[in-house]
Structure 1
Amino acid sequence: MIKDKTTVILIRHGECDGNVKGMFRGQMDFPLNERGLKQAKEAGDAAKKLGIDAIYSSPLLRAKQTAQAVAEACGLSVANCPGVNNISLGSWEGRIKEEIAKEEPTLWNTWLNAPEYLVFPGMEPLTDVMARSRAALDEIVKTHRGGTVAVVSHRTTLKPLVASCLGIPKPWFWKLHFDTASLTTLLHDEKGYSLLHFNGTDHLSEYRSEWN
């Protein structure tokens, strides 16, 4: 039986220009923009108060920059975690939403209404993102049993990950939202995962929600 409680702080990366332009980023490597760098520092200041023992990050630059800001605030180093990398979106990467809606209306309709079932060449199914991110988080929790660990990732990874941890049935994608540089807290114990705090943004001096 698991007696130790492990706290997991899930952090979405700070803002990048792809966010602002309404572009599908996927695994394209965008750096944080000026606002994103500020958000990352503020996320680090907030995380410092939580007594974090370790920090893991997606390998993409926008996540690594965010994680590094958290690490500097907490006096830690960043561990690379490919399991929480962003979804691969194939031909959609680098394209704006309006373009896809016009050129691929059938796929776009599925994205809007049933993204859990969307599949097209080059796209990583959300079920696969869920499986790999959950496996990565379970391993992190096992390694840091009884501690507090931060994981910096992406919205389209955090959605299936949290849905898996909390046992949320389909359709779950549009029921969960993670703003840039937000903090979400899970607790893991003998009962599994439970949600303590969701999409926290009080630490951000310039809050701007991004709903789609």
Structure 2
Amino acid sequence: MNLISSFSQNLFFIRHGFIAEEYRKVFYGQLDVPLSEEGKIKSLKVVDELSNYSIKAIFSSPLQRALFPAKILSERKKIPLIIKEELKEINYGIWTGRPREEIYKKPLFWERFKDDTLAPPEGESIRDLRKRAKSFWEGLKDLEEGLYVIFTHGGFIRALLCELLNLESCFLFTF
């Protein structure tokens, strides 16, 4: 089944802005980290641009870095904001909050994680993330025609692209 051809909606997927500096070198995943000041400013610019469009509804991850612009746009346009757990970033389990360099020093585990079958303890695998992204995508088919804005995370968007383009999960780390 072609996951793309059956859509009559326009969908804008938007990754959240820059996060606070102290979290940039750790696996933050589903940790609810704030946007940096620059991230907030750029998010507001995105909201200003999107305000020019006729939007049916807004979907957002519940994490504050995605929810910040989603709430503002929803209030400004007086349109529904639908918060979806499925739009969260990947769950890194016990890796959450740990320095990236610490995990990269375990190349065998890191390589297996990138191949999509292995999950960090208490976390989810890339395959799990892809399934979650595909499930969200399939749930959009029943929406009426129009423009929908989806505020989410880079990992989610890349996983969805891999799913839609039928790419191996290793490509998730190349764009």
What TM-score comes out, normalization by structure 1 length? 0.71
Matches within 5 A, 1:114-129: 114-129=114-129
SS in 2 for 1:91: helix
Paired position in structure 2 for 1:29 = 32
| Paired letter, 2:34 | P
| Residue of structure 1 aligned with 2:65, choices 59, 62, 65 | 62
| Residue of structure 1 aligned with 2:90, choices 87, 90, 97 | 87
What displacement does 1:95 show? Answer: 1.5
8 Å contact from structure 2 (residues 95, 120) kept in 1 = no
Over the matched positions of the two proteins, sequence identity in percent amounts to 26
Distance 2:86 2:22 in 1: 22
Paired position in structure 2 for 1:157 = 156
Distance 2:49 2:117 in 1: 36
- 1:181-204 deviation digits (Å, cap 9, x = unpaired): xxxxxxxxxxxxxxxxxxxxxxxx
| Paired letter, 2:131 | A
Paired position in structure 2 for 1:107 = 109
Q: Identify unmatched segments of 5+ residues in structure 2.
A: none
SS in 1 for 2:141: helix
What TM-score comes out, normalization by structure 2 length? 0.84
SS in 1 for 2:86: helix
The alignment covers a number of residue pairs equal to 171
Distance 1:115 1:3 in 2: 29
| Residue of structure 1 aligned with 2:9, choices 6, 11, 33 | 6
- Point out the more displaced range, 56-65 or 14-23: 14-23
Distance 2:123 2:115 in 1: 12
SS in 1 for 2:58: strand
SS in 2 for 1:149: strand
| Paired letter, 2:63 | L
8 Å contact from structure 1 (residues 88, 124) kept in 2 = yes
Query: RMSD of the alignment, in Å?
Result: 2.3
Paired position in structure 2 for 1:200 = none
Q: Identify unmatched segments of 5+ residues in structure 1.
A: 177-212
8 Å contact from structure 1 (residues 71, 78) kept in 2 = yes
What displacement does 1:174 show? Answer: 1.9
